[in-house]
Amino acid sequence: MDLGPFLFLATLEGLVSAAVLALTAVGLGLVFGVMRVVNVAHGEFFMLGAVVAWAVTNLMPGAPALGFVAALALSPLAAALVAIAADRAILRRLDYAPEAVIVATIGLGYILQQGALSLYGPEARAVAAPFSFRIQFPWFGYSGYKLAVIVFAALVLTGVWALLTRTKIGLVMRATQWDRETATAFGIDTDRVYALVFGLGAGLAATAAVLVAPISQAHYLMGGDPLLLSFAVVIIGGLGSLRGTVIAALLIGLTDGIVGVFFAPTLGKILATLLVALVLVFRPQGLFGRKTA
């Protein structure tokens, strides 16, 4: 294959990882933006989404596509419910103190991992894709499902954007983000907003995981990489900025896809991790974020 088509393939692969990453990271970024807490269990909500997707597609009789659609609806719901329960039972009692929440969500992550290990097992299992046609380019054939993932992720992200900027709920969320006390003074039940945002964040991670499950596999330890990558995206995009997060996800996803074609994956990961750490050290507001006091 010539360099041109080769780069095209790498770009497609990069777009798929960018799409999945953007969904996951927007979930993490939303929680950070509105609630000002770092959710270390975010990767485990991602894992939960994939594992529930496996369970739903296997329990559902009939065509694989039907089971997949059910998983796409039920997995995020399950993750969101667990997240809301955790918010009520744990985070609210901690009064959202940043360091306490970090410790508590580390604990929550371990509990979710153990739950998946006990109930689902240590194996990595594949989830059947809803359809399997290939799109034939002049140089190679490419999975139609992967292209559908890109489109679907873009739709969900547009939905999140519309929710935040065009609806009453979004307005309430932004008001809470801006100033929680004033929002409370205006009669907004910020406890409910927090629970909703935490659930929404987990649901987005789970959605991403359902999409990725037919491409990779579902495994109880799969949450580590998405967590670190989401941190990276949210940091580079500027903590709490939706647009920056999406741009950073594209940047990191594409780089990941293209670098992965040319470099050893471990070396690429090492360099990328150090680079992100240095961005956070020298530009704490991110590459696209504005300086705030």
Instruction: Kindly state the tokens that stand for 189.
Output: 């039940």
Binding to other proteins (CB under 8 A): which residues in 24-83?
37-38
Among 60, 69, 70, 94, binds other proteins (CB under 8 A): 94
* Shortest distance in whole angstroms from residue 203 CB to other proteins: 22
- 124 part of the interface to other proteins, by CB under 8 A: no
The residue among 59 and 267 lying less far from other proteins, judged by its C-beta, is 267
Stretch that binds other proteins, among 19-27, 123-131, 143-151, 271-279 (CB under 8 A): 271-279
- Work out the number of other CB atoms within 10 angstroms of the CB of residue 144: 14
**How far, in Å, CA of 242 to CA of 230, rounded?**
13
* Shortest distance in whole angstroms from residue 84 CB to other proteins: 16
- 260 part of the interface to other proteins, by CB under 8 A: no
- Local structure of residue 284 (DSSP, 8 states): T
**How far, in Å, CA of 136 to CA of 159, rounded?**
30
Buried b (16+ CB within 10 A) or exposed e, 201-222: bbbbbbbbbbbbbbbeebbbeb
Q: Which residues lie below 8 Å from residue 267, measured CB to CB, with a gap of 6+?
A: none
- Local structure of residue 139 (DSSP, 8 states): S
Q: Are strands 134-136 and 141-143 parallel, antiparallel or unpaired?
A: antiparallel
* Shortest distance in whole angstroms from residue 118 CB to other proteins: 6
DSSP string for residues in 109-129 = HHHHHHHHHHHH-S--B----
The residue among 74 and 108 lying less far from other proteins, judged by its C-beta, is 108
Stretch that binds other proteins, among 23-31, 92-100, 211-219, 247-255 (CB under 8 A): 92-100
Amino acid 222 reads: M
- 266 part of the interface to other proteins, by CB under 8 A: yes
- 90 part of the interface to other proteins, by CB under 8 A: yes
Stretch that binds other proteins, among 18-26, 49-57, 104-112, 199-207 (CB under 8 A): 104-112
Interface with other proteins (CB under 8 A), residue total 41
The residue among 120 and 145 lying less far from other proteins, judged by its C-beta, is 120
* Shortest distance in whole angstroms from residue 214 CB to other proteins: 27
The residue among 92 and 174 lying less far from other proteins, judged by its C-beta, is 92
Contact 135, 144 (CB under 8 A): yes
Among 102, 148, 215, 287, binds other proteins (CB under 8 A): 102
Beta strands in 138-234 (DSSP E): 141-143
| Residue 128 φ then ψ, to 5° | -65, 135
- 122 part of the interface to other proteins, by CB under 8 A: no
Binding mask 235-254 for other proteins (x = CB under 8 A): x-------------------
* Shortest distance in whole angstroms from residue 269 CB to other proteins: 5
Amino acid 276 reads: V
